[in-house]
Amino acid sequence: MTDNYRGSGDADSTQQHPTQGFQGPAYPPPPSYGPAYSATPAPGPAVAPAGPYPHGAHASGRAARRAKAPVALLAAVALAAAVVGGGSAALIGAYTGNGNGVGSGGTAVHGTTVSQSSAGTVAGVAQSVSPAIVEINAASNSGEATGSGVIITSDGEIVTNNHVVAGASSVKVQLSTGKTYTANVVGTDPDKDLALIKLEGASGLKTASLGDSGQVKVGDEVVAIGSPEGLTGTVTSGIISALNRDVTVAKDQDQGQQQGGGNGGGNWPFEFGGRQFNGDTGSSKTTYKALQTDASLNPGNSGGALINMNGQIIGINSAMYAPSSSSSTGGSSAGSVGLGFAIPINTVKADLSSLRSGGAG
C-alpha cells in the first residue's frame, strides 16, 4: 500500500492511512487566532475537579472574564483621576511606603496646595508683622521721648530699648489700631540696652514671632518697622550689612535726651570703631554685639523690629548714624544714611527671664 500526501497548505489534499486504509480529508491549517480556551489546565495546583468540564462551563468563564474587564478599566480610570486630582500626594503615598501604596503608618499622606501669596515680600512682611509693633511715648523729667516696641505675648509684654523708657515717670503705648494703653516698666537691662514693659488690661493681642539671629547672613533682606519721628508704623527695607559690630551706647536716658527733644526723642548717641556719633555717650555706657543694616532708621525707630523675609524678628533696632544737618533752618539731623544697628534677637531671648524678674537695672 502506498501513502500519498498533498501539500500541507492545500485545502483539498487527502491522505491514505497507512494501517486502516481509510482515506479522508486532510487536516485544515491552524486558525489565525488562538483557541478560546485550552483543554489542558495551566501548570499549578488543581482548582477544579478532574474530568470534562460541564456543558457551557467554558462559555460562562469567558463571559465572566468579559464582565470583569470594564470593572478593571473603571478602576484604572478612577486611579488616574485620583492621581490627577490629588497631585503628587498620591505618588508620594505610592512610592514612599512599603510597596503597597501607603506610608509607613499604613495610610497615604495627602498634602495640600499652597496658594500664591505675598509671603517673602516687603508688603507681605509688613502686613503680617505691623500689628505686633507699637509706638511708645515715655515722659520723664527731661521731657518726652518716642520709641517703638515689639509685642511678644498676647497679654501685652513688649520688648524695647532701655534708653526708650529709662527714667520714665509714665509710659503710653499706641497699637497699630490706634488704641492706647498705659504701660508699666517690668525690667530693664542697661548693659544690653533692653527693657520689658507690660500693658495694663490688655488681652488677645497680635504677637511677633521671634527668629534665630544666629542664622542671619550678610546680604539677607530685612524689613524695619517702627515710629520714626512719631510716624507710627513706618516700614523700610534693606539688607544685613555686617554681623557682630561692637556698638557702644549710653546707659543714661539724660545723655540721650540732651541731643534734642520732640517726637524723635533726640538722636541717641553711640560709638563705633573708636568714634562717636550723634553726640557724646558720656561716662556711663555699655557695648554689645549688633547686626548692622542699611534699612533706613531714624529717631523713634529705637526698640522697633528688624525682621527677616519670613516675618520673624531677628533684631531690636537700637542705634543709627544721623549726620548733622547743613541746613540753616536746621533740624537735629539730616536723616538716615544707611548705618543702623540692631540688638540680635538671640540676645533678647536669653535676657527675657531676667527682664521678667526685674532685670539688671
How far is residue 59's CA from residue 37's CA, in Å, rounded to a whole number?
Answer: 9
SS (H, E, C) the chain: CCCCCCCCCCCCCEEECCCCCCEEECCCCCCCCCCCCCCCCCCCCCCCCCCCCCCCHHHHHHHHHHHHHHHHHHHHHHHHHHHHHHCHHHHHHHHCCCCCCCCCCCCCCCCCCCCCCCCCCHHHHHHHHHHHEEEEEEEECCEEEEEEEEECCCCCEEEECHHHHCCCCEEEEECCCCCEEEEEEEEEECCCCEEEEEECCCCCCCCCEECCHHHCCCCCEEEEEECHHHCCCEEEEEEEEEEEEEEEEECCHHHHHCCCCCCCCCCCCEEECCEEECCCCCCCEEEEEEEEECCCCCCCCCCCEEEECCCEEEEEEEEECCCCCCCCCCCCCCCCCCCEEEEEHHHHHHHHHHHHCCECC
AA identity, residue 288: Y
Exactly one of 193, 252, 294, 351 is catalytic; name it.
193
CA gyration radius, the chain: 42
Exactly one of 128, 142, 148, 163 is catalytic; name it.
163
- Is position 110 annotated as part of the catalytic site? no
How far is residue 162's CA from residue 146's CA, in Å, rounded to a whole number?
Answer: 12
How far is residue 252's CA from residue 245's CA, in Å, rounded to a whole number?
Answer: 21
- Is position 302 annotated as part of the catalytic site? yes
Exactly one of 227, 296, 302, 333 is catalytic; name it.
302
- Is position 55 annotated as part of the catalytic site? no
The answer to whether 276 and 121 have CB atoms below 8 angstroms apart is: no
How far is residue 144's CA from residue 350's CA, in Å, rounded to a whole number?
Answer: 30
Residues designated catalytic: 163, 193, 302
